[in-house]
Amino acid sequence: MSARPRILFVRHGETDWNVEGRLQGQQDIPLNALGRIQAEDVGRRLAKLIDNTAHSKWLVSPLGRTRETAEIARHALGLDPKAYQTEDQLKEITFGAWEGFTWAELRKSEPLAEAERMKNKWGYVPPQGESYEMLTHRIGLWLETVKSEIVAVSHGGVARALMVLAAGLSPNDAPRYEIHQGRVLEFAEGRFRWH
C-alpha cells in the first residue's frame, strides 16, 4: 500500500464558546478576536511548511468558523482568501441535543448519560448526536478520496479521528490529546506532529 499524501490540518481559531467550554458541534459560532489572530498565525506557519502555497489545495469545513480561519490564513499567505473548496465531510462531530451546553451543565442535568460517555468516549452517542466512532467512519470515507497533499481546515473532533486513521493512535488515547488552535497539525508517513 502506498503512503498517504501529507495533510496539513488546521483547527479553526478560538470562539467565545471555546472560551466558555460550550459544546459547539455543528453550531455556527464565529471566531472571536483571538481566533482571528490565531488564523493569521496559522498562515505564517503554513508558509514554512508548503513549498508552493499558490498551488496548494485547501479543503475546508463549511461552518463559518472554519471558513473564516481559512480566509484569514490564506490572506496572510498572499492568496485569494476565497479560493478554497468546502467539504461537508469535514464538519465537526455533532453533539446533538448537547450542543450549547458545557460539560459542567451536563453533569448536573444529565448525570447518568454524561457518566456513560466518560466510560466510553469513543463509542458513546449523545442524544440526536454522533459518536467519535461514527465520525471516524465518516472521515475514513473522506480520507480515501485524498489523493494529493492538502491543507484541511476543520475541527477538534476531526483531528482526533485523523489521529486514529492516519497515524494509528488508539481510539482510547485520541480523546485525551489537546487539539491546538493557531498551530498546524501535520499528518505524514503514518505519524502526526505539531508546528
Alpha carbons 82 and 194: distance in angstroms, whole number:
26
In whole angstroms, what is the distance from residue 61 CA to residue 12 CA? 9
Would you call 178 a catalytic residue per the annotation? no
Decide if 144 contacts 1 (C-beta within 8 A).
Answer: no
- Amino acid found at 16: D
* Active-site residue identified among 12, 14, 99, 130: 12
3-class SS of residue 40 = helix
- 84 vs 74: CA distance, rounded Å: 9
- Does 155 qualify as catalytic in the annotation? no
Cell of 171: 481510539
Q: What nine digits make up the cell of 37?
A: 489572530
- Identify the active-site residue in 92, 99, 114, 130: 92
Catalytic residues: 12, 92
